[in-house]
Amino acid sequence: MASSERGDPGPEAGAPVTFVKEPEQSDSILADDALVSTAPDLIAGSLGEYTTIWWRRVRSGESGALPVVLGLIAIVAYFQIRSSLFLSAGNLVNLITQAAFIVTFGMAEVFVLLLGEIDLSVGYNAACGATITCWMLAPPNPYPWWVAVLGGLAFSAAYAGVEGIIITWLRLPSFVVTLAGYLGGLGLLLALINLAAPDSGGTIQLNSNTLNDIEGGAMSPVTGWIVMIAAVVLAAVFLVMRDARRRAHKLAAPPISVTVLKIALMAVAGVVVVLIGNTNRGVGFAIVRGVPWVVLVILVLLIAWTTLLSRTRFGRYVYAIGGNAEAARRAGISLKRIRILAFALCGLTAGVSGIIWTSNLSGISNNFNGGQYVLYAVAAAVIGGTSLFGGRGRMLGAVLGGLVVGVIYNGLQLLGLGPAAQNMWTAGVLLAAVTVDAVARRGSTTSTS
Amino acid sequence: MVTPGMPDGVPPTGGATSGAGPGQPEPADPSGPLLRLRGVGKSFGAVHALADVNLDIPAGQVTALVGDNGAGKTTLIKCVAGIWEPSGGQILWNGRPVHIRTPKDATALGIATVYQDLALCDNLDIVQNMMLGHERLSYGLLDEISMEKTARQTLADLAVTTVRSVRQTVGSLSGGQRQSVAVAKAVMLDARLVIMDEPTAALGVSQTELVLSLITRLASRGHAVVMISHNLNDIFRVADRIAVLYLGRLVAQGSASEFDRQSVVDIMTTGASSRRGNGSSGGGESAESRGVTSGLED
């Protein structure tokens, strides 16, 4: 009996089964029967091999950013054919500022969709938070702008956090609780605006140049280049260092060619954004140029939330709960804490969205269409590859999905088509995205769960 | 217990310490079985699901727990796994009486249970699943390299070689591979006793072979393995010892060589067998079963 020897895995001792594959080398658990059987490890993987694995992931439902990028290109091409103004610098910058709040709404929704929950109240929650920010900035005694922002964000996080507490402690469906939050938020918005600006006809101004500049202002052309180069260099250093560390520990790392390709793509995207932003979009003699500040806001939010979801315990647990809540519970994870925190983060991000929206119009009024924006938020997240069933989705996807919704919104306006066409287009794209999600999901698992 | 000092072989718990990984404390009583149940019973109101169970689980051996539906197999392992607290009797771990009140108590002792549903997250990869709830951090962020190395090492130790990459999502694995990941996860947490509930129930032929060889390897590494199964083929392939439950009572236990298929079926269905030559129930001569084991594995 093999109990006398150290558990050395080998074909000789503890394995009565001869036709189960035994390792040629004990450390080569990456050995594969079909594809890469010659490689003891994947350290020296090639670009082609990476493509194969990547394609496998695409087919298994981890489709990543590919479908949404392809969709985005197709829609942009369509609008450019229909209207030569679409790809003009002026319209593209306009598009970015229009789409920014949809993008952030989509990012907010990702937190709860990953858990398999939904938050229908993000729209009016964001509006209430933004109203509080405006109120705190109102004369005669305005707070500093950042205090007002913190106040508004704190409200939005708390609002969604309370919804999360109700959902987890009373075990109510998030759909119903946040529907109540939606209606309550609408009522609260009307009450808040009446309180804050009684004689304004239901409108409150955003009394801060700094905050109005998020959407209305732009970086100087030089600042735009510096920010872009800094972001790309940081990302490149991070990727290269990570791969180098993995190689140093003899773990499989993406081939250098793949990493170079990724960095090149980021650089190209950055250069394009800055070139568009720095083109003069002024009408007549006025010169207007520079990347809108909101791009930086979204970039920072994207990096922060991506790090949170992919590099921290909290993020890992969000995915785990969305994938299999029972497994997460047995692993000793506090489901309630993670769920409540995810709802609070959803509210916080929605609060950012509310401030961006307010910045765009220099104020907020009581005809804020929170109902439609919730649907845009869910659409952005789902178009970006976030599964409605939980466990799958990324922040970058929400950014791209939000851009898709923004492009449709902007493009149809440019073509002179009204809300009827806008909504039907968005519906069509959403349906297509959900179909892609469902089909990918069907092919993804070998299990019956 | 009949033969505390092994004349011919290695003490079973000695095997456990050498095989269960670093950091294991030396057992208090290295000669006895790893887990010993003495008169354990469990009642739900007036229903006696288990009564007076005396069972020895030695390290380095596979103990098959068999019985018909409702015989009390699941109740018994839930008592050991800390899901339910026994209503009576004593549980000895390394010869020391212990109280297992919660699953955490069981984990702390080194008892890991792999339930039939496996409790894996399909959307996470193998490393993420194996480290779930035990993530390592460096500078506040997840230390993926350290976790991946640990997961890889554990899988390599168990000779789980059929997965393409440890960064594969668990949803893309076959049933046997999923079972392997669940077992590896249990073993990685320094489990000394691995309880498996119907490990081969949902698997095809080749996947079953994968899991059975894994079970044998676990035992050869010194882990004690308890396997609930309905499949007599599997039981006689890997079990060193067989314990039969009938209506909440442990009616027979002993080395696998003392049983044959017909006698197991008889005992499972009627509580007794005329065919069983050696009637020593509850004895469990480890030395004998050790000899039998090597015979089985030729």
* pLDDT tens for each residue of B197-206: 888 887 888 8
Q: Could you tell me which chain B residue has the CA closest to the CA of A247? A: B145
Yes or no, beta carbons of A3 and B12 under 8 Å apart: yes
Yes or no, beta carbons of A445 and B124 under 8 Å apart: no
* pLDDT tens for each residue of B181-195: 888 888 887 788 999
- pTM given for the model: 0.81
Yes or no, beta carbons of B171 and A446 under 8 Å apart: yes
Question: Would you call B54 helix, strand, or coil by DSSP?
Answer: strand
Kindly write down the DSSP assignment for every residue of A53-97, as one continuous string.
HHHHHHHTT--TTHHHHHHHHHHHHHHHHH-TTTTSHHHHHHHHH
CA–CA gap between residue B227 and residue B223 (Å, rounded): 12
User: What are the chain B neighbours of A31 within 8 Å (beta carbons)?
Assistant: 161
CA–CA gap between residue B73 and residue B63 (Å, rounded): 12
Question: Is the per-residue pLDDT at A341 higher than 80?
Answer: yes
Yes or no, beta carbons of B166 and A30 under 8 Å apart: yes
Range A188-218 burial, b when 16+ CB lie within 10 A, else e: bbbebbeebbeeeeeebbbbbeebbebbbeb
Kindly write down the DSSP assignment for every residue of A149-165, as one continuous string.
HHHHHHHHHHHHHHHHH
- Compute CA distances B178 → A212, A440, B126, whole Å: 54, 21, 9
User: What are the chain A neighbours of B160 within 8 Å (beta carbons)?
Assistant: 29
A331 in reach of chain B (CB within 8 A): yes
In this structure, how many other beta carbons lie within 10 angstroms of the beta carbon of residue B48? Answer: 17
Which of B104, B121, B236 has the most A C-beta neighbours within 10 Å, making it the best mutation to test the interface with A?
B121
Which of B122, B141, B180, B215 has the most A C-beta neighbours within 10 Å, making it the best mutation to test the interface with A?
B122
* pLDDT tens for each residue of B112-122: 888 888 789 99
23-52 in A: which are within 8 Å (CB) of B? Answer: 23, 26-33, 35-36, 42
Range among A152-161, A234-243, A382-391 with highest mean pLDDT value = A152-161
Q: Across the strands, what pairs with B245? A: B67, B250
Helix (H) or strand (E) holding B114: strand B111-114
Range among A352-361, A436-445, B68-77, B154-163 with highest mean pLDDT value = A352-361
Which residues contact residue B51 at a Cβ distance below 8 angstroms, ignoring those fewer than 6 apart?
B41, B248, B249
CA–CA gap between residue B114 and residue B117 (Å, rounded): 8
Output the CA angle A40-A46-A49, nearest 5 degrees.
Answer: 80
**Chain centre to alpha carbon of residue A99:** 13
A199 in reach of chain B (CB within 8 A): no
DSSP state of A415: T
Q: Beta A363-365 vs A203-205: how paired, if at all? A: antiparallel
Which of A25, A28, A29 has the most B C-beta neighbours within 10 Å, making it the best mutation to test the interface with B?
A29
Yes or no, beta carbons of B60 and A1 under 8 Å apart: yes
Phi and psi dihedrals of B40, rounded to 5? Answer: -75, 135
User: What are the chain A neighbours of B117 within 8 Å (beta carbons)?
Assistant: 326
Range among A207-211, A283-287, A330-334, B17-21 with highest mean pLDDT value = A207-211
Specify the pLDDT at position B5: 39
Specify the pLDDT at position B294: 32
B89: alpha, beta or left? (left if phi > 0; alpha if psi -120 to 50): left
Answer yes or no: are the C-beta atoms of B126 and A29 closer than 8 Å.
no
Yes or no, beta carbons of A444 and B171 under 8 Å apart: yes
* pLDDT tens for each residue of A180-206: 999 999 999 999 999 988 888 889 999
Yes or no, beta carbons of A330 and B119 under 8 Å apart: yes
A120 in reach of chain B (CB within 8 A): no
Minimal Cβ distance to B169: which of A60, A324, A326: A60
A19 in reach of chain B (CB within 8 A): yes
- Compute CA distances A359 → A125, A332, A391, whole Å: 16, 43, 33
CA–CA gap between residue A20 and residue B183 (Å, rounded): 17
Minimal Cβ distance to B123: which of A7, A319, A446: A319
